[in-house]
A and B are shown apart, each in its own frame.
Chain A
Amino acid sequence: MDENFCDRRILIVDDTPENIDLLGEILSCYKRSIALNGEKALKLASGSLKPDLILLDVMMPGMDGFEVCKRLKNNPETKDIPVIFITAKSEVEDETKGLELGAVDFIPKPISPPVVIARVKNHLELKVVRQNLEEKNKELAKHNKYITDSINYAKRIQNAILPTADQLKRIFPDSFYLYIPKDIVSGDFYWFKEVDDLKIFAAVDCTGHGVPGAFMSIIGNTLLNEIVETFKVTDPGQILNRLDIKVITELQKDINIQTYDGMDLAIAVFDSRKNLLHFAGAYRPMLYFQNGQLFEIRGERKSIGDPKKEITFTTHTVKVESEIEVYLFSDGFLDQNNFEDKKMGSKKLKELLSGIHKKEFSEQKRILREEFEKHRGEITQRDDVLFAGIRLRPVNKTEIISFSGGMSYDKIISMLDELKEKSQNLLAVKQSKLVFFCVNEFLQNIFNYSADIVYEGEKQISSGFIHAELAGDNIEITSGNRTSIETFERVNQKIKYLNSLDPLQLKSLRKEKIKEESESTSKGGGIGFLEIIRRTNSRIIISSENCGGNFVTMKFYIKIYLGDANE
């Protein structure tokens, strides 16, 4: 360091004037302050002519050098001034004590002038370096905070775009996702939509992580929405083909410019009407378990946004014949290395999943997270992690709850309780409650208000049945009675007539019926559901079929719309 330190001030503290003179002479190139005792030294150190370095004698009457040093270090104003002890006492324990108190150096008496000059210069230089470092650190901390604050805010935006776990459960009631960003924001994201009978889920891994990854994820999210919602593309292979073209054009990719920004993703579409699961992948696979066996469908060897590979994404289809567990994930989980630099790897993941795929998803999520953390240990997380699991059950192949005999109110209620319990497997609790109330109300209507119409002229009926089936998020209720074709025809006509009425007319008719009902005792299946059509947003469809003989059934479907959950 070439800096000239002559403008620096040295405080010399010694009770012996001769020593002060000597030191003053040696250090004549600096500005000097002098103190003959500890009290004076403390006063000067924190005064207006604050020294840059203090030479401190240990043995002084009154307050000794150690005490002075201790007080200097305890005062925020003086604690950063380097202190060098100058003393005849050169025993090790003294040096140790002095250094422990915060002194930077020791110079033994008798003094050697070149040593004093060199050490003083060194410590003045060190002080400058230290100050610079502190300033730089402060600056860095400031910048770091600024950037971190900014990214934290960006995280809020990313979180706002990402759908919540509750929203996912509405579409996939039995599902989970594990989302561990490497940095504050993430390049991995999940996306899902429901379009009519199709439920779509995508696990997306954008190139890069942190801020660049997050930027890319916003593009991906927007494009997926556009393709599926605006352009109504629901075939996964086609979605990826569109997405590929979009990313290439949106990012204005030039085949001559080397950029490889884009995304890898796995997208699955469950067709709940046909019980088919469609899949397409861009460098990402889908794992699924059916009948206890693990299957893997590999994606195409092409990333979204790679203009060089002319590969078309194809759709793979799986029949959902029994309950299956589907797993979609980014590579962050598999690629995590441990302290031996060994990756988690797909083999280990498959073994792990084979052992746990039948467990509750909340439990699986916990295990996967634990395994990830266990494998990672103290090693830094390499990439963003996204791991999602969805359990699908074939619909239509439903559990039938039925009973025969007289339709007593108690039996209907007990059947509804069973229905409610079973429907919880299929629907989120909130929805199942809604279904329960809806069905309950519906059956009460049948039970209370329609008996006289159904059994007009045939009052000897003694058996009936109700089948309630869970079909996806529909509840299908079949109500049947031993009755004649003629009666059924009459009922049908009555339905048509009731359907043609406007709400006011229907209301007045209903009042009339209630009045009649209070005087009647007959019970059975019927058409009271018409009231519900007017009173809830749930769609009720009626169809009727003749089961042969004089046994007639009527089917009612109640479709619960997720959007109506608050009503």
Chain B
Amino acid sequence: MNNLIIEKTKSSPAVSFNAATGKCELSGSSYPENANEFYTPVFDWLKKYMTDITRELYFTFKLDYLNSSSIKFVSELVDRIDKYSKAGVKNEIEWHYKEEDEDILELGKEFKEEVSCKFTLTED
């Protein structure tokens, strides 16, 4: 299975998903003009990983801005990882936020409440 690498742009985050190690990172700002288009390969990769590789995922979010549609996609992403955890896989999610970035911290707290897998909030 291939890694998924998408370069960071002004309005979309860098995607770096490693199929061999299960280390996945999403970093940057997310407000693409068409969020659906941007996140489709992300979800496709994840789905394939979960059915083909079936190992743990170590997910790192280092987002500094998400527009309202992106929040929905990221929320869905967290949700999928959590469901995958419930199937018995020990996944880990790390949510990074910058000092004083209340909004990103709040969003992280919200996700943390909703999931049952390991979820850590890390201040950068």
Name which residue of chain A comes closest to B79, CB basis: A308
Contact of A259 among B36, B67, B103 (CB under 8 A): B36
A345→B104 CA distance, assembly (Å): 10
A142–chain B nearest beta-carbon distance, Å: 22
CA distance A382 to B29 in the complex (A): 11
Q: Is the CB of A207 within 8 A of B103?
A: no
**Which residues of A in the span 328-346 have a Cβ within 8 Å of any Cβ on B?**
331, 334-335, 337, 341, 343, 345-346
- Inter-subunit contact B67/A383 (CB<8 Å): yes
> Which chain B residues border A283 with CB–CB below 8 Å?
68, 71
Complexed CA–CA distance, A267 and B111 (Å)? 24
B87 to chain A, nearest CB (A): 18
Query: CB distance A301 to B103 under 8 Å?
Result: no
Contact of A306 with B67 in the complex, beta carbons under 8 Å = no
Contact yes or no, A345 B102, CB < 8 A? yes
Give chain A residues whose Cβ lies under 8 Å from the Cβ of B35: 260
Q: Mark B22-56, 1 if CB is under 8 A from A, else 0.
A: 00000001010001100110010000000000000
Query: How far, in whole Å, are A156 and B39 apart by their CA atoms in the complex?
Result: 33
Contacts A259-B36, A260-B72, A283-B68 known; A382 to B31 CB distance under 8 Å?
yes
Q: Find out whether the CB atom of A207 lies under 8 angstroms from the CB atom of B31.
A: no
Q: Tell me the minimal C-beta distance from B111 to chain A in angstroms.
A: 10
> B65 contacts the other chain (Cβ, under 8 Å)?
yes
Which residues, 57 to 108 on B, are CB-close (under 8 Å) to A? 64-65, 67-69, 71-73, 76, 79, 100-103
A500 interfacial by beta-carbon distance below 8 Å: no
Please provide the 8 A-B residue pairs with the shortest distance between their CB atoms, ordered closest to farther. Answer: A260-B72, A207-B69, A207-B68, A301-B110, A346-B102, A260-B69, A264-B68, A347-B102
Which residues does chain B contribute within 8 Å of A258, judged by CB atoms?
36, 39-40, 43, 73, 76
Asked if A205 meets B68 with Cβ closer than 8 Å, knowing A258-B76, A260-B76, the reply is: yes
Interface flags for B105-122 (1: CB within 8 Å of A; 0: not) read 000001000000000000
29 CB < 8 A contacts A-B: A207-B68, A207-B69, A207-B72, A258-B36, A258-B40, A259-B36, A260-B36, A260-B69, A261-B69, A264-B68, A308-B76, A331-B68, A335-B65, A335-B67, A337-B29, A337-B65, A341-B29, A341-B64, A343-B64, A343-B65, A343-B101, A343-B103, A345-B100, A345-B101, A345-B103, A346-B102, A346-B103, A382-B31, A383-B31
**A residues apposed to B, CB below 8 Å:** 205, 207-208, 258-261, 264, 283, 301, 303, 306, 308, 331, 334-335, 337, 341, 343, 345-347, 382-383
Which residue of chain A lies nearest to B104 when distances are taken between CB atoms in the complex? A343
- Shortest CB distance A55–B (Å): 46
- Seen from chain B, the residues whose Cβ lies within 8 Å of a Cβ on chain A are 29, 31, 35-36, 39-40, 43, 64-65, 67-69, 71-73, 76, 79, 100-103, 110
Which of chain B's residues has its CB closest to A337's CB? B65
Report the minimum CB–CB distance from B54 to chain A (whole Å).
22
- Contact residues in B for A345 (Cβ distance below 8 Å): 100-103
Q: Which residue of B lies closest to A335 (CB)?
A: B65
Q: What residues of chain A lie closer than 8 Å to B79, measured between beta carbons?
A: 308
Chain A residues near B64 (CB-CB < 8 A): 341, 343
In this complex, what residue of B is CB-closest to A283? Answer: B68
Cβ distance A59 to chain B, nearest Cβ, rounded Å:
54
Bound CA span A283–B67, Å: 12
User: Bound state CA distance, A306 and B29, in angstroms?
Assistant: 23
B71: min CB distance to chain A, Å: 8
Q: Choose one: A261, A346, A382; the contact of B67 (CB below 8 Å).
A: A382
Question: Which residues does chain B contribute within 8 Å of A301, judged by CB atoms?
Answer: 110
List A contacts of B68 (CB < 8 A): 205, 207, 264, 283, 303, 331
By a CB distance below 8 angstroms, the chain B residues around A341 are: 29, 64
Chain A positions within 8 Å of B69 at CB level: 207-208, 260-261
Which residues of chain A come closer than 8 Å to B72, judged between CB atoms?
207, 260, 303, 306
Taking a contact as CB atoms under 8 Å apart, the answer to whether B103 and A334 are in contact is: yes
Q: Are B103 and A260 in contact (CB under 8 A)?
A: no
Chain A residues within an 8 Å CB radius of B71: 283
- The distance in angstroms between the C-alpha atoms of A260 and B67, with both chains bound, is 12
Tell me the complex Cα distance, A347–B106, Å: 13
| New A-B pairs, 16, CB < 8 Å, besides A260-B76, A346-B103 | A205-B68, A207-B68, A258-B36, A258-B40, A258-B76, A261-B69, A283-B68, A335-B103, A343-B65, A343-B101, A345-B100, A345-B102, A345-B103, A346-B102, A347-B100, A382-B65
CB distance from B74 to the nearest CB of A (A): 10
Q: Chain A residues with Cβ under 8 A from B67's Cβ?
A: 331, 335, 382-383
Question: How far, in whole Å, are A260 and B68 apart by their CA atoms in the complex?
Answer: 9
Determine the distance from Cα of A261 to Cα of B71 in the docked complex, in whole angstroms.
12
Residues on the A chain within 8 Å of B36, using CB: 258-260
The residues of A that contact B40 with a CB separation of less than 8 Å are 258
Residues of chain B contacted by A383 (CB below 8 angstroms): 31, 67
Q: A347: nearest residue on chain B (CB-CB)?
A: B102
